[in-house]
Amino acid sequence: MTKYIQNVKLLNGQSELVESTITIVDGRITEIGGEQPAGAEIIDGKGNFLAPGFVDVHVHLREPGFEHKETIATGTASAAKGGFTTICAMPNTKPVPDSVENLELINSLIEQSAKVRVLPYGSLTVAQSGDERTDLEALKASGAVAFSDDGVGVQLAATMYEQMQAAAKLDMVVVAHCEDNSLIYDGVMHEGKRNKELGLLGIPSICESVQIARDVLLAEAAGARYHVCHVSTKESVRAVRDAKAAGIRVTAEVCPHHLLLEEMDIPSDDANWKMNPPLRAIDDKDSLHAALLDGTIDCIATDHAPHTVEEKCCGMVGAPFGIVGFETAFPLLYTQFVETKKWTLKQLVDWMTVKPAQIFDLPYGTLEVGAAADLVLIDLNQEQSINPDEFASKGRNTPFTGWKAKGWPVLTMVEGNIVYNEEAK
């Protein structure tokens, strides 16, 4: 089966858009800029920008166990609509993928209903309880992309150290949600200025940064590959930067919301602004930008975390942490940072494709000949305002309602198959 996408613009190494074509045979890219092959199915790119499908190494699909928030079907439909073609699913489901049996159950659910490529994490501890360690070798053999207890921090240094040693033997990455439970202080937002104005308890920056500082030293001692989730504070940035300078094998991700928002943007006690880690101070936000630009932070990940309207209805105190991310990530980052010339389009695309793929040795996020034809066509001129009622996700929990943005995906393909088409709406 041959497909030929004509009339598209591709990025070159100088971040310029150049007219081209893509030929796909049996789900793989076979030629870039070639002539139309005889008998090919023709797809008109209509002059839109064509990028590698986005790779998101931090997402929550909620199934099994929390299908009222999201399912693999709705979560992957949301990913496809946002231009994501490979996503790594976090293990805070019920059951937790802490055994071969549970991971195989998740694999079979993915097989049944995923619209994009889903690579599941295995957990670091049984039931993510932080006590009993999981069998990482068995989880790897059953297809775990990496290991994480995301949703909670690993409290005991020895547990983290021993799992890092086990992961190092397997040449696998340990992925950490860094949060010291003794430093949460029942907070629901950042401990700074805005929480006092709103009369809400705050989570201090050290809650995150001290655990990162601990972990990079453990990773050094274990010789492990260590990846930090959703970095949010300037002290965390410094810990990662210093660790990299010392030759420790650490990588890090940042979420769109931490690049776009800070604590003072929170309009009121509204749980659509509640996520973990919380929106920090403006100098934290600035340091995240500097860290992306200097390579301290390697990539962008959404931490797509859907919850129900009922759970998010009634203020921050009772609500769960988390906001959705797939369908707003690219348009917001493109509009706010590429259109304004802070970043090049190539930088943004690399942070959402090859950079995350490299951390996990994934062969995705590239348009090279021979690669899987995972791609997204994006209309860079189309402007829309964000309306959660139009999300393919079950989640409506976003702080970006009403924001105007350009750069909307119009067609997404995984292995040459169309998984989202704006025209089919």
**Interface residues with ligand NCD (CB under 6 A)?**
60, 92, 150-151, 177, 275-276, 303, 305, 320-322
For residue 41, give both structure tokens. 């199915």
Which uninterrupted H or E stretch holds 242? helix 234-245
H helix runs in 147-281, sequence order: 157-169, 194-198, 206-222, 234-245, 256-260
Report the partner that residue 321 touches, choosing among ligand NCD, Zn ion, none (CB closer than 5 to 8 A by kind).
ligand NCD
Site for Zn ion in 257-316 (CB under 5 A): 303
Question: Is 321 marked within a binding site?
Answer: yes
Q: Give the residue with the Cβ less far from ligand NCD, 151 or 256.
A: 151
Nearest approach, Cβ of residue 367 and ligand NCD (Å): 30
150 counts as binding Zn ion under rule CB under 5 A: yes
Distance (Å, rounded) from C-alpha 171 to C-alpha 360?
A: 10
Closest residue to Zn ion using C-beta atoms: 177
For residue 204, give both structure tokens. 């201090």
Partners of 375 in beta bridges: 52, 413
Question: Is 259 marked within a binding site?
Answer: no
SS3 state at 230: coil
Question: Is 124 marked within a binding site?
Answer: no
Tokens 């695309």 label which residue? 349
Q: State the number of binding residues for Zn ion (CB under 5 A).
A: 4
Distance (Å, rounded) from C-alpha 381 to C-alpha 212?
A: 40
312-323 CB burial, b ≥16 within 10 A, e <16: beeebeebebbb
Report the partner that residue 349 touches, choosing among Zn ion, ligand NCD, none (CB closer than 5 to 8 A by kind).
none
Question: Is 230 marked within a binding site?
Answer: yes
Backbone angles phi, psi at 300, to 5 degrees: -110, 135
Active-site residue, from 303, 350, 374, 379: 303
Report the partner that residue 275 touches, choosing among Zn ion, ligand NCD, none (CB closer than 5 to 8 A by kind).
ligand NCD
Maximal C-alpha separation, the chain: 68
Is 265 in the active site?
A: no
Question: Is 257 marked within a binding site?
Answer: no
List the binding residues for Zn(2+): 58, 60, 150, 177, 230, 303
Active-site positions read: 303
Per CB under 5 A, residues contacting Zn ion are 150, 177, 229, 303
List the binding residues for substrate: 60-62, 92, 276, 307, 321-322
